[in-house]
Amino acid sequence: MTRGRPAPAWLAALAISCALAFARAQGASTPEIDAARAELESARFDKALALLDALLGRSGLEPDAVAEALALRAQARVATGDLGRAEQDWKRLLLLRPAYEPDVATTGRKARERFDRVAATVVGTLKLEVDPPEARILVDGRGVAPAADGTVRLAAGERRIQVDHPGFDAADLAAVVLAGDVVPVRVRLVPNARSVVLRTEPDGVEVRLDGSLVGVSARPEGAEGSQGPASARAARLVVADLPLGEHVFELAKPCYRTTRVRVQVQVDVADRGAIFLETVALDPARAVVAIHGTPAGAEVQVDGAVVGRLPVEGAALCAGEHTVEVRSGGRIVWSDEVEFPEQGAVTVDVSPRPRAIVLGAAVWPASLAEIDRRFGAEVRAALPPNVDLTRPAGWATVPLPRDTDLAAAVLPPESVGSVGRIVVFSPILRTVETLDAPPRSAERPASRTPSLGWRLADAAGGVVVAEVVPGGPAAAAGILPGVRVTTLVGRVSESAAQVRGVVASLPIASEATLEFLVPGEVAPKGASLRVAGSPELLPRPNGPASRAIAAAWAAVDAAGGEDTAFAAARLGALLLEAGNPEAAAEALALAELGARAGVGGGTIAYLRGRALALAGRDAEARAAFAKARETAARAGTDDGPAIAPAAVDHAADLGVSAP
Amino acid sequence: MTITRTILLPALAAGLLAACLAPARAQAPDPAAAEREYRVARRLAADGSPEAGAALARVVALDPAGVVADDALLEQALLEGLPAWPDAMGAIPEAGLRRAVPLLERVVGTLSASDRAPEARYRLALARLEPLAGRDPAKARAEFLALAASRVDGPWPLAARHALGWIDEQDGALERALGAYRRIVVDHPWTQAAARAGMGEGRVLARQGAFGPAAAALQDALDGASGTHPAAVALREAAVRNLRRAAFAGARWPAAPPSTWASGIKSALAAVALPAGEVLVADRRAGAVVRFDAAGRESGRVALDELQALAVDPYGRAWVAAGERVFVLRGDQAVPVANQGAFAPAGSLAVDAAGRIYLTDRRGDRVGRVAPGAASPELLRERRGAAIAAIAWSGGRLLALEERTGRVIDVRPDGTDQIVGTVPTTSATSLVVDAAGQVAVLDARGGSVSLLGPDGQPRDRLMLEAAGVGRAAALSFGPDGSLDVFDASGAVARFP
């Protein structure tokens, strides 16, 4: 009798509570189901049944919700001893969930037997044997995961079985599931593709399959330095499940000739392993490169790697476009993008030139074309937003590549109007020049100016040689101060300015014929003067070169271009003028002019003294001025005024009494 | 008593304070009105309107510390005729200077952070150098040094440095002057200050006898200068002449005969050349100072009785001793500036860059000096029988010619002297100095002119009779170094 009696309510509630706790975590959840579950946990079975009956009486429920509700109601019915109606629920439930098993904690032996009986009439088993075992299996369109022995419980009836796997043809078949029985099904897929293993020397080869990038070859872990066969050490790339037929692999790597490999993929039912291709050794593709020019001995880098020093002869370098940089004096003095042919030789001519950047123009405007032609220039189309590039402070926010000597910006006309659209910034001087017109000239400012070693003066009766610079061409030709210049290179002298203009047009190192009159004599005398090249420390303000362009060339030349010492002196003078004394002193320290007549060591000492004094380095400045005042050095050019008196005046500012 | 003071003093102070504040409340600063007024005043000043000064004063009254207050004060001062460069000094009247200085002091003092303050500082220092009463060269030099060493933008630090060179030049500190000038030329080429400094360099180098570098410096300066600078052109010419003479002719006068013209002067007492090439001649018999242009044509005259002596100062101003007074010539007017006092009637006259007037008595025993603003001279030197025939100011020193000995002496500020050189003559009557510091001495009885270098060394002797000149009465050096000799017949011979 006890067995026929329902379990005590508290015991049933405890068991159901535990079972439901698990079921809650797994089963479908609706408000009604949750409410029914709560009633069950509280052993209020009647209320739970009422709720579940109402729910299952509704149409349009999701199958999962129906299954969950049936499972709960069956449990409630088992708990109330209504096994007959529980069987009805199990039957409906197994059609929806063939793998359903009632919970052993809430289902007594008798109820379990009743459930097993019901299951035997509704559910059957398929025992699947699939090759390859990892293939995907669908039953009636829903994925199934067979047990370890390959069995799958299914509702009795005819079922559609689909099996597929990459590299195989898919299988699609029907099977009848017999209730309470086990039906074996065997499926063997037919392969239709194979994996291919490419092996390359060297590694890092980019692989394209039929035009599409599929990867880069890499050496297997531990292969580096191993003693195994070469094929085992080779870099490899596995291309999985390559369809049957012919395929083309393209193997490419910089500095190597691109190679193509054709592969015919066939199926071998007996051997479904990957196809291992023979190791492909790429042929190096190198150009024979010569790099000539100045400064001799400068370091040459290609794509950041040192390849030698100027001149570089016969360097075997990777073909393709490369960045060539020549470094001297701690900076880049020449750079360009150069195309090296895959085969053959190429010669690159190098001559130091400034690096320029242009902003705000997709192409160089005509007015800046000269800079483009003469400078190592780079165009960046975009202007930085909200930056005032007409002021140095604006440029401070623009990231410029290292060793940029000049930067130009073409401003939009709407921001500045039709004039002043071009601004030229000197990162060296930290100055901005606004141009209404094209730069007067981007030509390399002459590092030397022609000089005859004299100073002239206009006077009644003609142009007179007022002063002869010791050691200069006029002194060498025996010209004395006071003679009157009648002709120079056949041109009649009209004024001191006109004669200076004639001198400026003479080629350096040429011979200039001079006719002159000595006071008291009637017949002119003749002489031949060898035109000397004088440094010109500061370009004249109305001269052809802007300060920014002059500084750019001076910086490059000082690092190894033409007349390094003169260029350093000019750079120092420009920096001093621009109010950057520390940099000026640094540049001037490189200007070794020694005891040269005219602009010489004394001139450099003087300029350094000025820079050092401005920088507050008084002791060093005093020493520099002391040196300068002891010399006969000249200012500006070899024909300029002597600097010694000015050095004395500067020294007085530093507390040094005149000698 | 104590109670009364306790109550009354605070009340009095409060009253005073209220009185002081009342005008301020009545006229609060009005920047907008000041700027409007400034625009008007600036236009008036540009038009040369006499209303400009008052308009500028109104600007300051409307906003005493406003953004245009410094401009208004400075421009008010400039209306008085302040010079831009030291060599343009000597033109502003004393009254004008007295009005200008407080205006400048206000900018420098209360508006020292304004953008015009450096200019005001420069102008104020220059005003302190004016050859007038109250001149304070020490203070001016200190101001110039401070401004030159400052790092303010604009041309004024350079102008100050140029002024330092000019002060040294006038004081005879030629090396220091050269250093100051050269520094500007070398450090700041192609500026107006460099052009001015180049002219200073040219003057100093010429005075040092470096005629070639002087000519070159002047050439560079003239090439870089804007406007015309006849004095610099003339000095360049003088430098070239001396260069050629020194280099090829043994520093001798050229053999070529002089150019001559008839001046109409019957009794030439003295002659001076002005910077632009004009020549002034004191005609004792006519009782007039006669002005000739550079071509020798009479261009004006100033009537003065009892003419005694004539001089030109470093600013190109002409001075005359006549009767018992000393006059400065302004155009065709003689403006009395000092009494000769015990030195009347004067024997000779010189004026230095500080505006000090030097004069000798008729016998040449005493040398007197009149400070700017002083009414009469003080005794500087007295030597019985010295018989000083002529004096001249040259490059920071007062040169005097002893008639009987032919000695040229440097009379120092303390009255002592030093022999500069000696001319072989028994009747030295006239002494002139050119821009290069060369000294020419006329021996009227011997009919010769002796030339000494600035160092006193003899350079040449010009025999007048051989050159076709009769009885010479007066000499003058032209700014280009040419020598004019006036004879008793009224003829003038110009030796290049």
Q: What is the mean pLDDT of residues B421-447?
A: 89
Q: What is the mean pLDDT of residues A511-526?
A: 92
- Closest to A654 measured CA to CA, from A591, A612, A595: A612
Contact across the interface for B213 and A455, Cβ inside 8 Å:
yes
Q: Which residues of B touch A465 (CB under 8 A)?
A: 212
Work out the minimum CA distance from A460 to partner chain B, whole angstroms: 7
B410: β partners:
B399, B418
Give the CA distances from residue A304 to residues A301, A323, A327, A380, B145, in Å, rounded to whole numbers and listed in that order: 5, 8, 11, 22, 54
Contact across the interface for A643 and B186, Cβ inside 8 Å:
yes
Contact across the interface for A641 and B217, Cβ inside 8 Å:
yes
Contact across the interface for B190 and A541, Cβ inside 8 Å:
yes
Work out the minimum CA distance from A308 to partner chain B, whole angstroms: 43
DSSP reduced 3-state for A583: helix
User: What is the band of B3 on the pLDDT scale with cuts at 50, 70, 90?
Assistant: very low
CA distance B165 to B159: 10
Alpha carbon A525 to chain centroid distance? Answer: 70
Instruction: List the single residue in B183, B214, B245 with the smallest CB-CB distance to A646.
Output: B183
Q: Which pLDDT does position B4 carry in this prediction?
A: 43
Contact across the interface for A460 and B237, Cβ inside 8 Å:
yes
User: What is the band of B25 on the pLDDT scale with cuts at 50, 70, 90?
Assistant: very low
Q: Is the pLDDT assigned to residue A476 strictly greater than 80? A: yes
Work out the minimum CA distance from B180 to partner chain A, whole angstroms: 6
| CB-based contacts of B112, cutoff 8 Å, min separation 6 | none
How high does pLDDT run on average in chain B?
89
Q: What angle do CA A158, A159, A164 make, to 5 degrees?
A: 150
First to last CA, chain B: 88
Give the CA distances from residue A231 to residues A132, A195, A198, A278, B54, in Å, rounded to whole numbers and listed in that order: 30, 18, 11, 8, 104
Q: Is the pLDDT assigned to residue B1 strictly greater than 70? A: no
Interface test with B, best of A538, A649, A656 (most B CBs within 10 A): A649
CA distance A95 to A315: 81
Q: Which pLDDT does position A348 carry in this prediction?
A: 94
Q: Which pLDDT does position B9 carry in this prediction?
A: 46
Q: Which pLDDT does position A21 carry in this prediction?
A: 52
A327: β partners:
A299, A332
Nearest residue of B to residue A467, measured between CA atoms: B212
Q: Which residues of B touch A652 (CB under 8 A)?
A: 176, 179
B382: β partners:
B366
* Stronger pLDDT, A380 or B492, i.e. the higher one: B492
In this structure, of A405-419, B75-89, B286-300, B429-443, the range with the lowest mean pLDDT score is A405-419
Instruction: List the single residue in B185, B220, B240 with the smallest CB-CB distance to A459.
Output: B240
Q: Is the pLDDT assigned to residue B287 strictly greater than 80? A: yes
Q: Is the pLDDT assigned to residue A25 strictly greater than 90? A: no
Whether residue A488 contacts residue A468, with contact meaning beta carbons closer than 8 Å, is answered with: no
Percent of chain A's residues with pLDDT above 90 = 56
User: What is the band of B23 on the pLDDT scale with cuts at 50, 70, 90?
Assistant: very low
Q: Is the pLDDT assigned to residue A284 strictly greater than 90? A: no
How high does pLDDT run on average in chain A?
87
Q: What is the mean pLDDT of residues B378-382?
A: 95
Residue-level length of chain B: 496
Whether residue A368 contacts residue A410, with contact meaning beta carbons closer than 8 Å, is answered with: yes
Environment class of B344 (CB within 10 Å of its CB; exposed 0-12, middle 13-18, buried 19+): buried
Strand ranges for A64-211 from DSSP E:
123-131, 136-139, 142-143, 151-155, 157-164, 168-169, 171-177, 182-188, 190-191, 193-201, 206-209
Peptide bond connecting A202 to the previous residue in cis, omega within 30 degrees of 0: yes
Q: Which pLDDT does position A444 carry in this prediction?
A: 73
CA distance A18 to A106: 9
Q: Which residues of B touch A457 (CB under 8 A)?
A: 215-216, 218-219, 236, 239-240
Tens of pLDDT, residue by residue over A236-266, are 999 998 988 999 999 999 888 889 999 999 8
Q: Is the pLDDT assigned to residue A4 strictly greater than 50? A: no
Measured N-to-C along each axis, helices B211-224 and B174-187 cross at an angle, to the nearest 10 degrees, of 40
- Closest to B267 measured CA to CA, from B482, B486, B8: B486
* Stronger pLDDT, B140 or A25, i.e. the higher one: B140
> In chain B, which residues touch A (CB < 8 A)?
149, 175-176, 178-180, 182-183, 185-187, 189-190, 201, 212-220, 222-223, 236-237, 239-241, 243-249
Q: Which pLDDT does position A440 carry in this prediction?
A: 57
Give the CA distances from residue A213 to residues A208, A209, A217, A236, A282, in Å, rounded to whole numbers and listed in that order: 4, 6, 12, 15, 18
User: What is the band of A222 on the pLDDT scale with cuts at 50, 70, 90?
Assistant: confident
- Closest to B359 measured CA to CA, from B328, B333, B390: B390
User: Does the pTM of the predicted model rise above 0.80?
Assistant: no
Alpha-helical (H) ranges within A58-108 are: 63-79, 83-96
User: What is the band of B28 on the pLDDT scale with cuts at 50, 70, 90?
Assistant: confident
Within a 10 A sphere around the Cβ of A393, how many other Cβ atoms?
Answer: 12
CA distance B268 to B289: 10
In this structure, of A455-459, A540-544, B326-330, the range with the lowest mean pLDDT score is A540-544
Interface test with A, best of B145, B158, B181, B182 (most A CBs within 10 A): B182
Q: What is the mean pLDDT of residues B287-303?
A: 91
Tens of pLDDT, residue by residue over A423-460, are 889 999 999 987 766 555 566 777 788 999 999 999 98
User: What is the band of A114 on the pLDDT scale with cuts at 50, 70, 90?
Assistant: very high
Contact across the interface for A645 and B220, Cβ inside 8 Å:
no
Tens of pLDDT, residue by residue over A335-345, are 888 999 877 89
CA distance B332 to A331: 71
Contact across the interface for A538 and B189, Cβ inside 8 Å:
yes
Q: Which pLDDT does position A166 carry in this prediction?
A: 87
* Stronger pLDDT, A200 or B466, i.e. the higher one: A200
Q: What is the mean pLDDT of residues A288-317?
A: 93
In this structure, of A101-110, A547-556, B168-177, B241-250, the range with the lowest mean pLDDT score is B241-250
Q: Which pLDDT does position B16 carry in this prediction?
A: 43
Within a 10 A sphere around the Cβ of B350, how many other Cβ atoms?
Answer: 27
Interface test with A, best of B169, B219, B242 (most A CBs within 10 A): B219
Q: Which pLDDT does position B7 carry in this prediction?
A: 45
Helix, strand, coil shares, percent, chain A, to 5: 30, 30, 40
Instruction: List the single residue in B175, B216, B249 with the smallest CB-CB distance to A520.
Output: B249
Q: Is the pLDDT assigned to residue B11 strictly greater than 50? A: no
* Stronger pLDDT, B320 or A547, i.e. the higher one: B320
Tens of pLDDT, residue by residue over A156-175, are 999 999 999 988 899 999 99
Q: What is the mean pLDDT of residues A383-402?
A: 88
Characterize the bridge pairing of strands A275-276 and A193-201: parallel
Q: Which residues of A touch B240 (CB under 8 A)?
A: 457, 459, 464, 466, 482
Q: Which residues of A touch B218 (CB under 8 A)?
A: 457
Q: Is the pLDDT assigned to residue B100 strictly greater than 90? A: yes
Work out the minimum CA distance from A302 to partner chain B, whole angstroms: 44
Q: Which residues of A touch B190 (CB under 8 A)?
A: 540-541
The amino acid sitting at B341 is G
- Closest to A432 measured CA to CA, from A461, A382, A393: A393
Nearest residue of B to residue A649, measured between CA atoms: B179
Q: Which stretch of DSSP H or E encloses residue B318?
A: strand B318-322
CA distance B157 to B187: 13
A26-52 in b/e form (b: 16+ CB < 10 A) is ebbeeebbeebbbbbbebbbebbbebb
Q: Which pLDDT does position A206 carry in this prediction?
A: 96
Q: Is the pLDDT assigned to residue B350 strictly greater than 90? A: yes
In this structure, of A26-40, A205-219, B386-400, the range with the lowest mean pLDDT score is A26-40
